[in-house]
């Protein structure tokens, strides 16, 4: 099946710094990428939907200025957590989808810890 | 509250069958999915079913869909210790954003020897 990678897999940062997470589709071109966050023992919550070359669509309650999403190519989307705070600590998972396919391929996730 | 609901925990003995249940609310969902998540990892798609189907079988996995009751189940035959994980059901949400998924809270399955 299609492979999606995320980098880094784990990051620890100080409060107030910004962190960039990359999501890559390795063997296919993804028309749409999704960003989720998952708190411990909870489900995945969709943060935003990103289409290549256009602005991301954010879910209600997600601050677009805090979680910057860039989808510059069909194989790469980035999520930047700006001015991170301890409450932003979470597991961030991306997924990539092929046009006309009803399947999302998930990355392995990035564990963000903000001290 | 969540639109997709699952029981939170299931304990099963190795070799027995596991049944994980899920209810959803959006009757216009086109696809329903089962994902598996192992500790510290992303989601692995196990199987999915189109909304006009009642059942789908794939090796040890059997998915049953009762569209009238909006009930989805996943049966794992001959459960193995490697099946211990969190299982999420998800439905597609037919909106302008193609492919948007609504997940349940996940069912933690623990397989005991």
pLDDT at A2: 81
Which residue has better confidence, B3 or A88? A88
Report cis status (omega within 30 of 0) of the bond before B47.
Answer: no
pLDDT at B41: 84
Residue B81 has pLDDT above 90, yes or no: yes
In the structure, what pLDDT confidence band is assigned to residue B93 with cuts at 50, 70 and 90? confident
DSSP of chain B, one letter per residue? Answer: --SEEE-SEEEEETTS-EEEEEEE--TT--EEEEEEE-TT--EEEEEEEETT-SEEEETTEEEEEETTTTEEEEEESS--GGG-EEEEEEEE--SSSTT-EEE---EEEEEE-
For chain B, percent of residues with pLDDT exceeding 70: 93
pLDDT at A28: 86
Whether A95 contacts A47, CB under 8 Å:
no
| Interface contact flag, B105 A109, Cβ < 8 Å | no
Whether A3 contacts A94, CB under 8 Å:
no
Segment B58-70 shows an average pLDDT of: 94
Q: What is the 3-state secondary structure (H, E, C) of chain A?
A: CCCEEEECCEEEECCCCCEEEEEEECCCCCCEEEEEEECCCCCEEEEEEEECCCCCEECCCCCCCCEEEEEEECCEEEEEECCCCHHHCEEEEEEEECCCCCCEEECCCEEEEEC
For testing the chain A interface, which of B3, B9, B24, B42 should be mutated: the one with the most A CBs within 10 Å? B42
pLDDT digits (tens, 9 = 90+) for A62-96: 999 999 999 888 899 999 999 999 999 999 999 99
| Interface contact flag, B105 A106, Cβ < 8 Å | no
pLDDT at A55: 86
Segment B46-62 shows an average pLDDT of: 93
- Nearest chain A CA: its distance from B9 CA (Å): 11
| Interface contact flag, B103 A111, Cβ < 8 Å | no
Question: Residue A33 and residue A79: Cα distance in Å, rounded?
Answer: 11
Residue B20 has pLDDT above 50, yes or no: yes
pLDDT at A52: 82
Segment B15-43 shows an average pLDDT of: 89
Mean residue pLDDT of chain B comes to 89
A92 CB neighbour count, 10 Å cutoff:
24
| Interface contact flag, B99 A42, Cβ < 8 Å | no
Residue B2 has pLDDT above 80, yes or no: no
Residue B98 has pLDDT above 80, yes or no: no
**Low-confidence winner among A2-16, A94-108, B50-64, B69-83 (lowest mean pLDDT):** A94-108
pLDDT digits (tens, 9 = 90+) for A21-62: 999 999 888 888 999 999 887 888 999 998 888 889 999 999
| Interface contact flag, B48 A102, Cβ < 8 Å | yes
Which chain B residue has its CA at the smallest distance from A58's CA? B97
Which chain A residue has its CA at the smallest distance from B108's CA? A41
pLDDT at B1: 43
């Amino acid at each position: 099946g299609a492979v999606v990678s995320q980098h880094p897999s784990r990051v620890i940062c100080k409060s107030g710094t910004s962190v960039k997470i990359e999501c890559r589709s390795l063997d296919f071109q993804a028309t749409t990428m999704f960003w989720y966050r998952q708190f411990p023992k909870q489900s995945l919550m969709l943060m935003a939907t990103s289409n290549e070359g256009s602005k991301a669509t954010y879910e209600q309650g997600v601050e677009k200025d805090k979680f910057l999403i860039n989808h510059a190519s069909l194989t790469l989307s980035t999520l930047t957590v700006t001015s991170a705070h301890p409450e932003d600590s979470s597991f961030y998972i991306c997924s990539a989808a092929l046009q006309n396919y009803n399947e999302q391929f998930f990355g392995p996730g990035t564990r963000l810890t903000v001290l | 509250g969540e639109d997709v609901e699952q029981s939170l925990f299931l304990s099963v003995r190795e070799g027995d069958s596991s049944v994980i249940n899920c209810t959803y609310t959006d009757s216009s969902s086109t696809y329903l999915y089962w994902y598996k998540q192992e500790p510290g990892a992303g989601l692995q798609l196990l199987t999915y079913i189109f909304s006009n189907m009642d059942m789908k079988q794939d090796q040890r996995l059997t998915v049953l869909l009762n569209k009238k009751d909006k009930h989805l189940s996943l049966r794992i035959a001959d459960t193995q210790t490697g099946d211990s994980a969190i299982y999420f059901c998800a439905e597609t949400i037919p909106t302008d954003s193609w492919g948007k998924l609504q997940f349940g809270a996940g069912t933690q399955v623990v397989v005991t020897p």
